[in-house]
Chains A and B, each alone.
Chain A
């Protein structure tokens, strides 16, 4: 099934040690994991398991203490702040639990933001942001500000923002955590369609129900991978 798919993420012996002065905390103790193109992976684990640390490293928000990380064939470990910013901009689409939209900006402006930092021209930004909003079913809400939208709509805006740069991976951190279960399901369905279009999705969650939407669940405990299972869903 995945014979010809390229690895989107290759992680080798990834370690992260937080130096808290008196103590050193090993948040990741040598993680090895491959995530393929058009994979849909849920990363699970209790708090303190290293789940957030792994997500930050995959999202290039932080750098590892040691180990290797290749994102779409690019070696990420040991890059500078500036290079990491570029990778976040081009390669990763973030979806956060709290949506993290700019409150004073319209949906369209929020979705344009990554393109602003990519240096796209205003007309190109507008065009692509429109497309992304239409893709998440918000073609009629472009001028609305976040406080004029429901939680589900806000998360859709955030998803459109994640998609707008055509990233290698979508990194969703508890995307339904602030939504009721009905809206949460709608968002998960949206992620599913995005997956079906060929995107690679990494879902970080502690909810078993949500993780079940993914096709593979990686469980962490004490900074190590405890299990890695492929889910066969009843379609």
Chain B
């Protein structure tokens, strides 16, 4: 009870002093505001990128490996460009020989213009796959159906389209059964996917999926670059499958044991790992920047608190004469400094929240609730740390000296 009363009193005195010096307290807190805002923005952006990337990579599938000429994680383009092309007949071999492959599909893609009657949409990502692609990378359909094995084997001109394509070409009618033109070739729309949304400001609904045979026949030129998409059987066998596929691929590519792989085995987790390494670096950088700005803010606090102690020497003397113990005095100044910083923290968090919302359109941000508490508490702690020395200085003043300074 006694302690509680002391805490309340300390807060009341501190708030009184702050109210008397609003501008100064505000300017002092500004350092903390900026510091907290910087730290939170770093965290919010990293978390946002992380979340966006994860949701984006989700469609790659957690149990899927992408076999390609390209190592997604490498930037050694000069070596990779010399590699031989992937071949569709690898798929049969992989399907036959692997125990862990549940489904496997070729994957080609290319940007092209899609038209329907008068309207057209450019830069649509057209993908050539087999029906098993809908197992390796499941799509939820809003309407219609996916294509069948028969349609794939007879190179049928059918397409499953994304929401953007549907909306811009068929704003008022169902696209199912309509014939659209992909780079001038007729394709019948048989299915429409549900929306994925935007990632990094770019829509992920701007696609059309067609049987790979038709893709090869109509659109393959020297641009065509085959990726083989394989999904492992249920039960966490991605690594088993990866290892198995690697062996089969090395044989198919006739690599001798001393040669390195001339193909990439790309997985979502590998991308995420690399991304996590990168974000760890960004985090570390953010924490350092944050600490520096909070240090600067804290020094500002210490400076102003020292001024405040000097200005209020007479008040301190009076309080001591009336029976304030040293800890009463230091508590008063500590609370004041902590309150200035915590208020700065609140403003910093609020500004970060606003800024995070504002930039969310072009840079994904994610601000969890816990960060609000951490931001405010952390800035209060900065206030306590940097208020410690001024508070101790105030407490050590002799009451006589302090009274005399009046």
Q: B-contacting residues of A (Cβ < 8 Å)?
A: 56, 59, 61-62, 81-82, 85-86, 88-90, 94, 96, 98, 100, 102, 104-105, 113-114, 116-119, 121-122, 161, 165
Contacts A62-B398, A90-B323, A121-B5 aside, 8 further interface pairs with beta carbons under 8 A come to: A85-B324, A89-B322, A89-B323, A94-B321, A100-B406, A104-B20, A113-B319, A113-B322
Query: Is A117 a contact of B319 with CB atoms below 8 Å?
Result: yes
* Interface: B375 (CB within 8 A): no
Across the interface, name the chain A residue whose C-beta is closest to B16.
A104
Query: Is A117 a contact of B323 with CB atoms below 8 Å?
Result: yes
Query: Is A105 a contact of B16 with CB atoms below 8 Å?
Result: yes
- Of listed B1, B9, B19, B321, residue having the most chain A CB within 10 A: B321
Across the interface, name the chain B residue whose C-beta is closest to A86.
B323
Interface string of B315-356 (1 = CB under 8 A from A): 100111111111010000000000000000000000000000
Q: A-contacting residues of B (Cβ < 8 Å)?
A: 1-2, 5-6, 9, 16, 19-20, 314-315, 318-326, 328, 398-400, 403, 406
Query: Is A62 a contact of B325 with CB atoms below 8 Å?
Result: no
A198 CB, nearest partner CB in chain B, Å:
22
Which residues of the partner chain B approach A89 to less than 8 Å between Cβ atoms? 322-323
Counting from the closest, the 3 A-B pairs by CB-CB distance are A89-B323, A117-B323, A85-B325
Q: Majority SS of interface residues in chain B?
A: helix
Query: Is A117 a contact of B321 with CB atoms below 8 Å?
Result: no
Q: Give Cα distance in the complex from A98 to B406, angstroms.
A: 8
A88 CB, nearest partner CB in chain B, Å:
5
Query: Is A117 a contact of B400 with CB atoms below 8 Å?
Result: no
Q: Give Cα distance in the complex from A73 to B188, angstroms.
A: 107
A-B contact pairs, 28 of them (CB 8 A): A56-B400, A61-B320, A61-B321, A61-B399, A61-B400, A62-B398, A81-B326, A85-B325, A88-B321, A88-B399, A94-B322, A96-B318, A96-B403, A98-B406, A100-B318, A100-B321, A100-B403, A102-B315, A104-B16, A104-B20, A113-B322, A114-B322, A114-B323, A117-B322, A117-B323, A118-B323, A122-B5, A165-B323
The answer to whether residues A102 and B322 also contact, given A61-B400, A119-B2 and a CB cut-off of 8 A, is: no
Across the interface, name the chain A residue whose C-beta is closest to B17.
A104
The answer to whether residues A85 and B320 also contact, given A61-B403, A96-B403, A100-B406 and a CB cut-off of 8 A, is: yes
Which residues of the partner chain A approach B403 to less than 8 Å between Cβ atoms? 61, 96, 100
Query: Is A116 a contact of B9 with CB atoms below 8 Å?
Result: yes
Query: Is A85 a contact of B5 with CB atoms below 8 Å?
Result: no
Which residues of the partner chain B approach A56 to less than 8 Å between Cβ atoms? 400
Q: Give Cα distance in the complex from A59 to B9, angstroms.
A: 25
Across the interface, name the chain A residue whose C-beta is closest to B328.
A117
Query: Is A161 a contact of B322 with CB atoms below 8 Å?
Result: yes
Q: Which residue of the partner chain, among A88, A98, A119, A122, contacts B322 with CB atoms under 8 Å? A: A88
Q: Give Cα distance in the complex from A89 to B322, angstroms.
A: 5
Which residues of the partner chain A approach B406 to less than 8 Å between Cβ atoms? 98, 100
A112 CB, nearest partner CB in chain B, Å:
10
Which residues of the partner chain A approach B325 to less than 8 Å between Cβ atoms? 81-82, 85-86, 117
